[in-house]
């Protein structure tokens, strides 16, 4: 049975039992700061389990894309070295939201496994929580599993919790016996539950039946739920008769492709096999992560993606793959998975380009890292130098990094590194590597830095240095890695997530009338709330609270669009009872944020009225974001996806995935394209469709949004078609005009455009015009002559600067004579140490050059202050560099002014942040030199 058949059969089984087949959510969790990546099937249903969201169904099933690499769940280092750890995997699951429970979930799981999938019962074992008598009884009595095959375990193995508080409950697992050949420890007759690798967990059934409070007390949930998870990869292993997940049809084509590219054979070498498995796994993770909008960076999700990519690239290098190769594997991933995940087809080009860019960056960074490793090498031993002398390879000059890298795959490591190090053995930058006073060891922090900053993995470094008599501090490296993991966990620390307060659970839903009208009549006040307080009966004048109505024209904040503002009038529509300054929604109920002007109480009849000016401005901006999104995809490519937005009355802020800054012409093209559609005055059409029908019709589902069973589809001719529940203009011409105000970066791989429409454009143009008028007045020029006026001003500034520099040189020359006359002698060495007036260090270096011929043999140290910062320049004549070092002199003087510095033996610079200590530093120069002599 193929992986596609297994996936389809699982979903079909539960669909036949009244489950809604729900599409996989993005690997980037929607509005969930507790997760780095989606790592379980239940993630997209978390708010449903917590009672914060209601769906149109109470039963669901899915095949969910998951990544476990970084944060709390991190399998990265195990991938490739075991038979079933992965960064990317698919989790099959069925879910009940207060519908069925154990009596249905357990028999269904057993039926699917033993009948539909025909897995032999004698190969299966079941585990339950130690106190879950009910589950054991169902397994034994209703299903017929022998009690000898049912095992009870503690909380560590068979109790699940969403967090420290909130929903939790016992779980039950189905395990499969892969046989003795699967044992990692060579066991031939071990019994379940031996953890040698022979027995694999197939399916975990979570019975969410308690709510745990902050004191640890557990109370039964009023509507117990079901959350199950089964790894598709493990099901494939069992149903395809394999021992390793990597031998299934989900991985073997990728492994074969990688092996062919590297001209190696899978199954002939342990190390080669590990590398091939890692490459195959990481290619899958990279393709899906990039397709879902993640791009390599130095923080958060992008950093984890970069680690995944670089780990794959490193293992490619060990196989001799020194040219770009990983993007080809990503293309194979698309070919294999496109039927299950059609979005991969649309992003294929973007994924390939992003991986190519990272492959180039990795090569460059690795070269820098290798150079860095050169600089941390000690002098070679006599034995190592002798090896170099007898090596058959010769070079016309010093061995470059590029040469070293190109030779790495074809020459013994010691030959390359002996030559590299010996060519540099007299370089002043070479430093001894010392750890805890022991020479010849690459310290743990340095080893971690080479890995973290330059992509040089510890085994790579170890292989390079071991033939030159060095070892690496693995323990120190692991300690640094653990610190990094803790930092990563802290940055994505799971926040406490409570279930919704019972006070909100049974509130009546609000009928939204705001698509058709901005004014409703005769609405009933159903409830009044204040934050962290019990429900109220009334609000007095001046009090603030949240009012619930049975019907409302107020749009509740969602989809990036801000909530409406306006007023609540009395039943006559003449007197304002309260000002509404926002509206939010929870579980289908609209909460109007109000400040009462008059007495308001539950059961009052009110007439809610939306601020028309603000709503219409918001509608212009919202429709403009759809035009902008379409224009970005048309101009930059279909890889562009919305990554967040703010639609307010006064502006549009639109975040989107793209890997480079937009050049001015791109911005003009995008702006022109949007305005073309506005001037065409095209009809903005909305229609309600089933979610699947809407997506299949080509409508885009946006990043971070959760959609109901029925959705609104907004179409603008054939230019834009998106799912959107926001409010919009009826024709594009109503927008008026569109103007991009700024384009910037908000994160790696994410750009931001801010724009204005309608009256906002007029305001922006007037402000720009006023600025031009002020400039024209200041430059005494007409607005259309400003460019020429600025050019004249620039030329004048350059001319004056040259005159100033010329005058400074003359003054410096005159000053040089005085400084030389005042030179002091220290043990036969003439020393000039003086404060000078100079615009910058370049001017100070010029002064040094003027002084050198006048002084002859000696030392020069000049200091100056600019912008409350100290600058020092030190110079030593060539004949004294065997005894004195300008870098050390500058550094010693800089300590006094609370700074640092360094440089060559003959010329060095330093800086400091304490101008008050400059004279003291200069007076100390003779004594510094005296100590060195």
Average pLDDT, the chain: 85
CA dist 855 and 859 (Å) reads 9
With both helix axes pointing from N to C terminus, report the angle between 326-337 and 300-318 in degrees, rounded to the nearest 10.
Answer: 110
Question: Is 359's pLDDT higher than 70?
Answer: yes
Q: What is the pLDDT of residue 488?
A: 52
CA dist 206 and 92 (Å) reads 13
User: Which one has a higher pLDDT value, 675 or 468?
Assistant: 675
Task: Supply the pTM of this predicted model.
Answer: 0.71
**Helices marked H in 513-607 — which ranges?**
none
Q: Report residue 566's pLDDT band, with 50, 70 and 90 as the boundaries.
A: very high
Backbone phi, psi, residue 307, to 5°: -60, -45
CA dist 6 and 23 (Å) reads 16
Please answer whether residues 926 and 834 qualify as being in contact, where contact means their C-beta atoms are separated by less than 8 angstroms: no
What's the whole-number mean pLDDT along residues 839-864?
87
Give the Å distances, CA to CA, from 609 to 86, 520, 668.
55, 7, 39
Q: What is the pLDDT of residue 29?
A: 85
Nearest to 23 by CA among 626, 690, 642, 722: 690
Q: What is the pLDDT of residue 384?
A: 40
Question: Is 524's pLDDT higher than 60?
Answer: yes
Weakest mean pLDDT among 486-490, 563-567, 650-654, 873-877: 486-490
Encode burial over 133-169: b for 16+ CB neighbours within 10 A, e otherwise: ebbbebbeeebebeeebbbebeeeebbbbbeebbbbb
User: Which one has a higher pLDDT value, 695 or 500?
Assistant: 695
Residue range 72-85, pLDDT digits in tens? 556 677 888 888 89
Q: What is the pLDDT of residue 694?
A: 86
Weakest mean pLDDT among 586-590, 593-597, 705-709: 705-709
Question: Is 700's pLDDT higher than 80?
Answer: yes
User: Which one has a higher pLDDT value, 695 or 305?
Assistant: 305
Question: Is 377's pLDDT higher than 70?
Answer: no
Which residues make Cβ contacts (< 8 Å) with residue 410, sequence separation at least 6?
none
Q: Report residue 149's pLDDT band, with 50, 70 and 90 as the boundaries.
A: very high
Q: What is the pLDDT of residue 503?
A: 60
Weakest mean pLDDT among 5-9, 154-158, 757-761, 782-786: 782-786
Weakest mean pLDDT among 96-110, 268-282, 431-445, 579-593: 431-445
């Amino acid at each position: 049975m193929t992986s596609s058949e297994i996936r389809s059969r699982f979903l079909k089984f539960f669909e036949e039992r009244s489950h809604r087949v729900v599409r996989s959510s993005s690997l980037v969790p929607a509005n969930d700061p507790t997760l780095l990546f989606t790592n379980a099937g239940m993630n997209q249903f978390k708010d449903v389990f917590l009672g914060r969201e209601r769906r149109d169904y109470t039963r669901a099933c899915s095949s969910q894309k998951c990544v476990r690499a970084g944060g709390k769940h991190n399998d990265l280092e195990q991938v490739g070295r075991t038979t079933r750890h992965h960064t990317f995997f698919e989790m099959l699951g069925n879910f009940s939201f207060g519908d069925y429970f154990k009596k249905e979930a357990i028999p269904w799981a057993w039926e699917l496994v033993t009948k539909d999938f025909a897995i032999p019962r004698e190969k299966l074992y079941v585990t339950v929580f130690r106190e879950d008598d009910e589950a054991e009884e169902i397994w034994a009595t209703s299903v017929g599993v022998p009690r000898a095959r049912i095992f009870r375990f503690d909380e560590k193995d068979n109790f699940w919790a969403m967090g420290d508080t909130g929903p939790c409950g016992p779980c039950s697992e189905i395990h499969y016996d892969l046989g003795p050949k699967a044992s990692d420890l060579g066991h031939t007759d071990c019994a379940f539950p031996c953890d040698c690798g022979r027995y694999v967990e197939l399916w975990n059934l979570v019975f969410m039946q308690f709510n745990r409070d902050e004191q640890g007390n557990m109370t039964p949930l009023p509507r117990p739920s079901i959350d199950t998870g089964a790894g598709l990869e493990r099901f494939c292993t069992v149903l395809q008769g394999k021992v390793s997940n990597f031998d299934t049809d989900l991985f073997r084509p990728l492994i074969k492709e990688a092996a062919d590219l590297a001209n190696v054979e899978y199954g002939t070498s342990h190390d080669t096999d590990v590398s091939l498995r890692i490459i195959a796994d990481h290619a899958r993770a990279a393709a899906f992560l990039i397709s879902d909008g993640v791009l390599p960076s130095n923080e958060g999700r992008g950093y984890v993606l970069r680690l995944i990519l670089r780990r794959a690239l490193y293992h490619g290098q060990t196989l001799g793959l020194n040219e770009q190769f990983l993007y080809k594997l990503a293309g194979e991933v698309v070919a294999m998975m496109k039927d299950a995940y059609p979005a991969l087809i649309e992003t294929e080009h973007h994924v390939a380009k992003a991986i190519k860019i990272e492959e180039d960056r990795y090569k460059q960074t690795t070269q820098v890292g290798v150079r860095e490793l050169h600089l941390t090498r000690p002098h070679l031993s006599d034995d190592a130098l002798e090896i170099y002398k007898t090596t058959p390879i010769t070079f016309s000059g010093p061995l470059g990094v590029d040469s070293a890298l190109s030779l790495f795959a074809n020459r013994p490591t010691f030959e390359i590194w002996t030559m590299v190090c010996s060519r540099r053995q007299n370089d002043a930058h070479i430093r001894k590597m010392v750890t805890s006073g022991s020479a010849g060891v690459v310290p743990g922090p340095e080893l971690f830095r080479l890995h973290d900053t330059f992509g040089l993995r510890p085994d790579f470094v170890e292989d390079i240095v071991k033939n030159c008599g060095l070892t690496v501090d693995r323990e120190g490296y692991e300690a640094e890695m653990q610190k990094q993991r803790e930092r990563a966990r802290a940055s994505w620390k799971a926040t406490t997530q409570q279930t919704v307060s019972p006070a909100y659970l049974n509130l009546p839903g609000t009928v939204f009338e705001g698509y058709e009208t901005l004014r409703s009549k005769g609405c009933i006040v159903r409830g009044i709330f204040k934050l962290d307080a019990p429900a109220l009966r009334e609000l007095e004048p001046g009090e603030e609270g949240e009012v619930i109505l049975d019907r409302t024209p107020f749009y509740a904040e969602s989809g990036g669009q801000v909530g409406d503002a306006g007023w609540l009038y009395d039943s006559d529509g003449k007197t304002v009872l309260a000002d509404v300054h926002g509206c939010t929604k929870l579980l289908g109920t609209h909460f109007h944020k109000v400040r009462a002007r008059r007495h308001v109480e539950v059961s009052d009849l009110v007439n809610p009225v939306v601020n028309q000016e603000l709503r219409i401005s918001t509608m212009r901006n919202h429709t403009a974001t759809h035009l902008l999104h379409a224009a970005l995809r048309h101009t930059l490519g279909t890889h562009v996806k919305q990554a967040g937005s703010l639609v307010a009355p006064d502006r549009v802020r639109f975040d989107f995935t793209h890997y480079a800054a937009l050049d001015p012409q791109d911005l003009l093209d995008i702006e022109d394209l949007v305005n073309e559609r506005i001037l065409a005055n095209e009809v903005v059409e909305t229609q309600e469709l089933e979610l699947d029908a809407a997506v299949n019709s080509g409508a885009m589902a946006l990043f971070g949004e959760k959609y109901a069973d029925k959705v609104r589809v907004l179409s603008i001719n054939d230019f834009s078609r998106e799912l959107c529940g926001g409010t919009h203009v009826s024709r594009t011409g109503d927008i008026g005009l569109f103007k991009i105000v700024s384009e910037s970066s908000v994160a790696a791989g994410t750009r931001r455009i801010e724009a204005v429409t309608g009256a906002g454009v007029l305001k922006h143009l007037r402000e720009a015009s006023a600025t031009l008028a002020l400039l024209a007045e200041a430059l005494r020029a007409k607005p259309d002559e400003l460019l020429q006026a600025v050019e004249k001003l620039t030329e004048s500034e350059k001319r004056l600067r040259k005159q100033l520099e010329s005058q400074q040189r003359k003054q410096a020359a005159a000053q040089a004579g005085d400084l030389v006359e005042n030179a002091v002698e220290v043990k036969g060495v003439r020393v000039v140490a003086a404060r000078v007036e100079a615009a910058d260090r370049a001017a100070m270096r010029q002064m040094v050059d003027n002084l050198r011929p006048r002084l002859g043999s000696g030392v020069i140290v000049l200091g100056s202050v600019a912008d409350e910062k100290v600058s020092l320049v030190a110079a030593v004549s060539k004949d004294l560099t065997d005894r004195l070092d300008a870098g050390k002199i500058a550094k010693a003087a800089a300590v006094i002014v609370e700074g640092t510095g360094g440089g060559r033996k003959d010329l060095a610079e330093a800086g400091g942040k304490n101008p008050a200590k400059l004279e003291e530093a200069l007076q100390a120069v003779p004594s510094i030199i005296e100590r060195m002599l």
